[in-house]
Amino acid sequence: MSFPTGKPHVSYSEVKAWKDCSWRHKLVYIDKIDKFKPSPNIDFGTHVHAECEEYLQKRTFNLDRLESSIRSGWEKKGFENPDTWIKEAKQIIDEIPEFLEKTFPSWEFIAAEHALYEPVEGSDIKFKGFIDAMIKSKNSHEQDRLWIIDWKTTGSRGWAADKKQDFLVQAQIALYKYYTSQKFEIDPKEIKCGFVLLKRGVKKGKACELVEVSVGPKMLENANKLVTSMISNVTAGKAIKNRMSCTYCEFKNTDHCPGSIEYPAFTNSR
């Protein structure tokens, strides 16, 4: 395998990591330096995603199972306050049925965790991804539309407006739309997509929010350029530090990335 990562595929998370900082991408995906630390936020998302998948497939959920899985996971990893996380998870899942019916009237299940493994144009590399949810719903003209949904667990404030409009965030769902249309030979115009924010610590009835993403031809083009550019640069061995992204990097000022810089907040001065 000639691709420097040793894998015949790339994923959105890997492409995003490269775009954020190609040097960090090299450390993680090529040098295989693992600095991953368990996080209750990540584990919480995993448990909630699993229950969302269960509901999509069977139109039922099991809050007792959800509580048990979170409690045992928190105990095993030494996370604190399991009761708070359990309460928040239960609220989210409890609101999923009404949210889906209200947002996607008469929705029908198509797939959950649907696997994509599609060729990247102009490359021997494949794009690998998993679509959290694919459902069918009718629009205002009673026409069927395929919806591609990605669940995102968040804090009580959800996403700020700038994050909702961030190209790099939207690129994930755009790529899922592109490769789904290619795989099933569906006109992209027939596919709608968005993120569903699953919020912790909010008032009743406020746990779920649809962030619809308008993905037109230009967005699809730019998202694909992002992938092909990543593949081209990684293949060429180009890895440059993005010193604007040092602040929260796990490699900051380590032997793997000496001389990291944390930029101070910009201030107006005369």
pLDDT tens per residue across span 106-134 = 999 999 999 999 999 999 999 999 999 99
Exposed/middle/buried for 54, CB within 10 Å: 0-12, 13-18, 19+? middle
Find the mean pLDDT for residues 152-179: 97
- Flag whether pLDDT at 33 surpasses 60: yes
Instruction: Return the pLDDT at 35.
Output: 80
| Separation in Å, CA 262 to CA 18, 241, 243, 245 | 19, 12, 7, 8
**Closest to 149 measured CA to CA, from 137, 132, 166:** 132
Strand locations in 165-222, DSSP E?
Answer: 191-199, 208-213
In the DSSP assignment, the letter for residue 61 is -
User: In a 3-state reduction of DSSP, which class is residue 247?
Assistant: coil
211-227-185-108 Cα dihedral, nearest 10 degrees? -30
Q: Which of 228, 114, 120, 113 is nearest to 182 (CA)?
A: 120
What mean pLDDT do residues 32-39 have? 87
Report, as an integer, the average pLDDT of 36-43: 91
Is the pLDDT at 2 greater than 90? The verdict is no
pLDDT cut 90: percent of the chain above it: 83
Summarize pLDDT for 40-88 with one digit per residue, the tens.
Answer: 999 999 999 999 999 999 999 999 999 999 999 999 999 999 999 999 9
Give me the mean pLDDT over the 33-46 stretch.
91
Answer yes or no: pTM beyond 0.85.
yes
> DSSP secondary structure string, 5-37?
TS-SEEEHHHHHHHHH-HHHHIIIIIS------
Query: What is the rounded average pLDDT of the residues 10-33?
Result: 96
More reliable by pLDDT, 34 or 77: 77
Model pLDDT, residue 34: 85
Of the pLDDT bands very low, low, confident and very high (cuts 50, 70, 90), residue 267 is: very low
Top pLDDT among 200 and 257 is at 200
Provide the mean pLDDT of the chain.
Answer: 92
